[in-house]
Chain A
């Protein structure tokens, strides 16, 4: 069959799905998924906004304009999105706030996925009492009320970007643990795992070389959707006052800050709110498409 593919390429015939590598096939399917492409465009726009924006519009996000006249300015040539309650340029704050929110979202989503995957992999592969202990621990963590633990952690660790990431990871890994454990339980029964055992492969090798790569598909999807969730989570934490501290901006604390000015200057809520909405939606659409693209049985 591979020979046929090479011949086919020479004749200029269209490639069929047999001819792609696995990654190539996923990419090919992904580009045909309408929702995923919409999501991808939204994300590309956001990324360009946040990383290229400051190169075009050079303003400092923390500089305050002197005098009361500089506060709550509407959109103008000097400040395309206006100024906020401290007279700071909103557009610049959107750029840098976005970078922080995306950074937090990305790092915490990946970290919580990896932690969860590790737990799920070990629990699923070993089974027995290891599985029992790990899963009961997972259940316990899921039952802990978020807010009191949040306050407790904050009082011990203080407030800041790394603290938020830690909190999100602490509250987020359980979902992936359950997901991966379930997947591993079924993958374990596949014949190629038995083949690996027959060769004499160690437990570690089987877990990381055989089981883990086959869970990647699910984990990637979980991560992309998790980023959206983490960004919203960061916004909520900042809303409660535990997040990124002034004068630094994140979309979350911008939103929090602006709530008191909802009558004066609704813009200050709309901009970060819209940005969060677009980012989360973009990640969700893209994640949906990725999930569909990865499942080879689904006809696209």
Chain B
């Protein structure tokens, strides 16, 4: 994709499990197992999945906060997979992350003005006065009063702390922002405020978002494209409307049918999946989803299904569709 801002190809992140007397690697947690996706400039790609799907790990590995086990990460046409931390540093101006936990993601001993200013300090951008000005502007932009720059994180509410997190991520004008469940820890009435803020900022500053979430209603509202993950693999990718109107992978279908809707009149046709998510240490052979799939066939155990482009922009990884 010549036009994509960032692309990952067959990305893997395995975490070794040490055991035995000599602490050798006895097994691996295959958190992210050959994942490929791309994000175009200015768009929002959502990674959805449940716990154990690997979506959080995928986001962090893409930013090289975790070192990939194998695969490639390409940013603006340049392969950054093997860059050292020192080589990565200038690039970090362009790609930032916003965290889920409003309480753990801010240093409790730093005043919030300093927290927001830190990216500017690290990259030596501007004079001291210019930096202070940038911080004040950023605080106003995200809806915080600049007078509060000397206050500490514990004096702010969860929603306000997330605003501080956004300010910190955006103060150096990055192009790419990874949003790791940015609203899950917030009260419902605050969530919509933050969603609006994120969308407004995206338009204003021409940002590209990788939105990691499990709340499908929010995903539907915010995304241009959606990739569904299960046990370390992407099972389906499509544009927003296409995915929600015509989900093709059995997991996607079950996932969408499970979402409760705030309308007591609506009777949901639930596809209830049996059993539990298998362990990522020992995923099932062939198709990872076969142990819970209502349409499982013999071939699913033998072979891993390939990626099939069912319609432009809509890819599925399932044997049901290879027949065609």
Which A residues form the contact surface with B (CB < 8 A)?
1-3, 5, 18-19, 21-22, 190-192, 194-202, 205, 209-210, 213-214, 216, 296
Enumerate B94-114 residues with CB–CB distance to A below 8 Å: 96-97, 99, 101, 104-110
Q: By the criterion CB–CB under 8 Å, are A22 and B154 in contact?
A: yes
Q: By the criterion CB–CB under 8 Å, are A18 and B93 in contact?
A: no
Question: What are 24 pairs between A and B in contact, CB < 8 Å?
Answer: A1-B155, A1-B157, A2-B145, A2-B151, A21-B151, A22-B108, A190-B104, A191-B99, A191-B105, A192-B104, A192-B107, A192-B108, A194-B99, A195-B99, A196-B107, A198-B63, A198-B97, A199-B118, A199-B172, A200-B89, A200-B122, A201-B118, A202-B89, A296-B154
Q: When chains A and B are docked, how far (Å) is the Cα of A198 from the Cα of B65?
A: 7
Q: By the criterion CB–CB under 8 Å, are A2 and B97 in contact?
A: no
> Chain B 36-66 against A: per-residue CB contact (8 Å), 1 yes, 0 no?
0000000000000000000000000001010
Q: When chains A and B are docked, how far (Å) is the Cα of A192 from the Cα of B107?
A: 6
**Smallest CB gap from B151: residue in A:** A2
Known interface pairs A1-B157, A196-B118; 5 further A-B residue pairs with C-beta atoms within 8 A, sorted by A's residue number? A2-B145, A2-B156, A22-B154, A198-B97, A201-B122
Determine whether B249 belongs to the interface, using a CB cutoff of 8 Å to chain A: no
Give min CB distance, B250 to chain A, whole Å: 35
Determine whether B168 belongs to the interface, using a CB cutoff of 8 Å to chain A: yes
Contacts of B168 in A (CB 8 A): 195, 199
Given A191-B99, A192-B106, answer yes or no on A1-B160 (Cβ-Cβ < 8 Å): yes
Q: By the criterion CB–CB under 8 Å, are A199 and B107 in contact?
A: no
**Smallest CB gap from B91: residue in A:** A200
**Smallest CB gap from B148: residue in A:** A2
Give min CB distance, A294 to chain B, whole Å: 11
Q: By the criterion CB–CB under 8 Å, are B119 and A19 in contact?
A: no
Contacts of A196 in B (CB 8 A): 107, 118
Enumerate B141-167 residues with CB–CB distance to A below 8 Å: 145, 148, 151-152, 154-157, 160, 165
Q: By the criterion CB–CB under 8 Å, are B155 and A195 in contact?
A: no
**For the complex, would chain B's binding face be called helix, strand, loop or mixed by DSSP majority?**
loop
9 interchain residue pairs of minimum CB distance: A200-B92, A191-B104, A191-B105, A213-B109, A192-B107, A200-B89, A199-B119, A198-B97, A1-B157
Give min CB distance, A190 to chain B, whole Å: 6
**Smallest CB gap from B100: residue in A:** A191
Contact of B152 among A22, A199, A202 (CB under 8 A): A22
**Smallest CB gap from A189: residue in B:** B104
Determine whether B123 belongs to the interface, using a CB cutoff of 8 Å to chain A: yes
Given A2-B156, A3-B145, answer yes or no on A195-B105 (Cβ-Cβ < 8 Å): yes
Q: When chains A and B are docked, how far (Å) is the Cα of A27 from the Cα of B151?
A: 17
Q: When chains A and B are docked, how far (Å) is the Cα of A191 from the Cα of B164?
A: 14
Determine whether B88 belongs to the interface, using a CB cutoff of 8 Å to chain A: yes
- B interface residues, how many (CB within 8 angstroms): 34
Q: When chains A and B are docked, how far (Å) is the Cα of A18 from the Cα of B89?
A: 36
Q: When chains A and B are docked, how far (Å) is the Cα of A22 from the Cα of B111?
A: 10
Which B residues form the contact surface with A (CB < 8 A)?
63, 65, 88-90, 92-93, 96-97, 99, 101, 104-110, 118-119, 122-123, 145, 148, 151-152, 154-157, 160, 165, 168, 172
Q: When chains A and B are docked, how far (Å) is the Cα of A21 from the Cα of B151?
A: 7
Given A2-B156, A191-B101, A214-B107, answer yes or no on A198-B148 (Cβ-Cβ < 8 Å): no
Contact of B88 among A19, A200, A205 (CB under 8 A): A200
The listed residue with most B CB atoms (<10 A of its CB), out of A190, A192, A205, A296, is A192
Q: By the criterion CB–CB under 8 Å, are A195 and B122 in contact?
A: no
**Smallest CB gap from B66: residue in A:** A194
Q: When chains A and B are docked, how far (Å) is the Cα of A195 from the Cα of B88?
A: 15
Given A192-B106, A205-B122, A214-B109, answer yes or no on A198-B154 (Cβ-Cβ < 8 Å): no
Q: When chains A and B are docked, how far (Å) is the Cα of A197 from the Cα of B160?
A: 22
Q: By the criterion CB–CB under 8 Å, are B122 and A199 in contact?
A: yes
Contact of B108 among A2, A19, A198, A214 (CB under 8 A): A214
**Smallest CB gap from B171: residue in A:** A199
Q: When chains A and B are docked, how far (Å) is the Cα of A43 from the Cα of B65?
A: 49
Q: When chains A and B are docked, how far (Å) is the Cα of A201 from the Cα of B117?
A: 12
Give min CB distance, B77 to chain A, whole Å: 21
Contacts of B156 in A (CB 8 A): 1-2
Give min CB distance, B118 to chain A, whole Å: 6
Q: By the criterion CB–CB under 8 Å, are B109 and A199 in contact?
A: no
Q: When chains A and B are docked, how far (Å) is the Cα of A201 from the Cα of B145?
A: 27
Q: When chains A and B are docked, how far (Å) is the Cα of A195 from the Cα of B92?
A: 11
Q: By the criterion CB–CB under 8 Å, are A18 and B154 in contact?
A: yes
Contacts of B97 in A (CB 8 A): 195, 198
Give min CB distance, B90 to chain A, whole Å: 8
Give min CB distance, A295 to chain B, whole Å: 13
Give min CB distance, B277 to chain A, whole Å: 24
Contact of A194 among B65, B92, B108, B109 (CB under 8 A): B65
Q: By the criterion CB–CB under 8 Å, are A200 and B106 in contact?
A: no
Contacts of B154 in A (CB 8 A): 18, 22, 296
Contacts of A190 in B (CB 8 A): 104
